[in-house]
Structure 1
Amino acid sequence: MASASRNAAESLETLHHLLSPLVGEARAGWVLDTLAIDFALAGSARRASRAQVAMALNAALFLDLLDRVPTAARYVGEMREKGEPIVFDHGALRTIDGPTGALPPGHGAFLRFLAPLGYEVRGLYPLPALTMTGRAFVQVDLPETVPQFFVSELHVDQLAAPAQDAAARVFGTSTDPLGDEEWLALNAIGRHGDCTIEEGVTILKGALRAFDRRHSAPALADYEVLLAHSKEGAWIATEGNAFNHATTRVPDVQGHSEDLKAAGYPLKPAVEISRNGRVRQTAILADKVARPFRLPDGRETTLEVPGSFYEFITRDIDPDTGRIDLTFDSGNATGIFAVTRGA
């Protein structure tokens, strides 16, 4: 897919107006020139459709991931140098199905504000080996070209008692990123399917706060308990609801993987293949990040822990529909999640 920003930059004025207050003029232009943008998202109106707001959110989250994951930034920079736009397939995040303070638990904390942007759940993926469940959030207006969200939730009540107690202490301090102003704007776009640029910016600012760590820095002792019982729970303790990974859709993930390995990228050893054979995925191993932890004496310490990562996916055509297979696969997801364990 050619990037609309490369062919008609002025046609992306609405997206630029939505993004600039969040990331600045220069970075807004950069990301719109980097991602493959559907021409259906073009426009210069002073009102933004829900699909445009959804795309602006994904573009801002894509930038945030590149800021946090140097290896991903290197890859995207190399693709830009080759003149190859990034087809942004989906972003993934992890949530807590358990006590979360003022924040609604699990996937509902995100569906509540993504639904007004046209997202709905179109896939349920049990992840029993991880004590989790994944859900695919699809933007119904442009399902193939506005990125999906893969939202997983950790079932705290299925963990051992010490881990449940640690989770309650860590995640019970969570705050809600959305207030009255954001809900007024969300209600407007939910009713009409579009909103003013100003309302769109308000929605995006609140949504971006949601994709962050909403709880206090964890106590080191609680982190260690979570790590022993759920490495995914420990990851959420330090990273919160930030993008766990962003995913590029490529024509041949196997060949792309081999090329990246030859270029020195630390990739998973093998490509994950869905049960139907149509969805194939691999990923770069997670970068390490320095995160704060609270000590019993009230001081803080900093340790290196696994951060986020970058993923690649190939989606074949579903012969029953004649369209791209937008589904996920529980086995693939379980395998991909492992890249944050050995960072």
Structure 2
Amino acid sequence: MSLPSSAAGSREPAAWLGMDIGGTKVALRAEIPGGRARERVVRWPGRGAAGDLARLAAEVALLHREVPGGFAAVGVALPATVGPDDRVVVWPSRPEWVGLDVRCAMAELFPDTPVGWADDGDLAALAEAEATGCADVLYVGVGTGVGGGLTCGGGPVPGLGRGSFELGHVVTDPDGPPCRCGRRGCLQSTASGPATLARAGRLHGADVTYRQLREAFAHQEQWAVRAVDRTCHRIALAVTGVRELMHPQLVVVGGGFAAGLPGFVDLVAHHLHALARPGVPAPPVRASCRGGLTSLYGAVALARVLEREPARTAALARRVPPG
């Protein structure tokens, strides 16, 4: 099922469409110049990639009726690993999508419309850069994993079509626990929500829930403080490495796990300042201003980038995968 990029003869302005495609649901947001916006949230039907895409097409069609001017460009937040041939290589949450040609699927859904996709962490950084007015932002998202994104001059790094900014797979502890990627000691394996809870359980002597950790951390119980402190220190190590190479002006910490622990962001900032060397001060650290919608707003921001830079979009569409 395909949709026109704009309604014939419509005087309505075209909207920027963002889609945040997740493992269990997809969120859509169409922003119309002038401040209006329309949103939809869709649960996947669980009938494989073809069923998912059919449901997505139906929901986009419904949204299109609310935006008669059509879509100027489409940005997609996609947590899957997409190879140089535009096919999904790895997506643990939706294994049925492995092998799907993302470019073809999006072109069929949005013919004659610029479409681009990026990792949800990359787009979270883009959203924070837009919201804060800071062009050089490092985003760290701490949840079931550790995501990251970087903007330089207001654009994503390393750039569309060149892969994602995988901060979670920077090795911060070579003797640390195994990571799902196959290495040991990746930031994700030591600083994600599950990794922090596992460490807290070992220090406490019994398994703990997130709620128990949050309450104990708020009351400064030593086992909880030590567990969270180790996580924040490892995040600061990774951020320090990025600081030495790319010099972001602002660090933004988001993700559901971090957001639910008051003091988490301040602890990251404390370790980051302690790791700074003379002449290279640590950048300021703040909490995300977009909350759980960061990647969705980033997808809309990507749509705006694609509309502004049609030459880049055309180059990406023509690129030849390495052979």
* TM-score, reference length from structure 2: 0.30
Bigger relative contact order, structure 1 or 2, given CA contacts below 8 A and separation 6+? Answer: 2
* TM-score, reference length from structure 1: 0.28
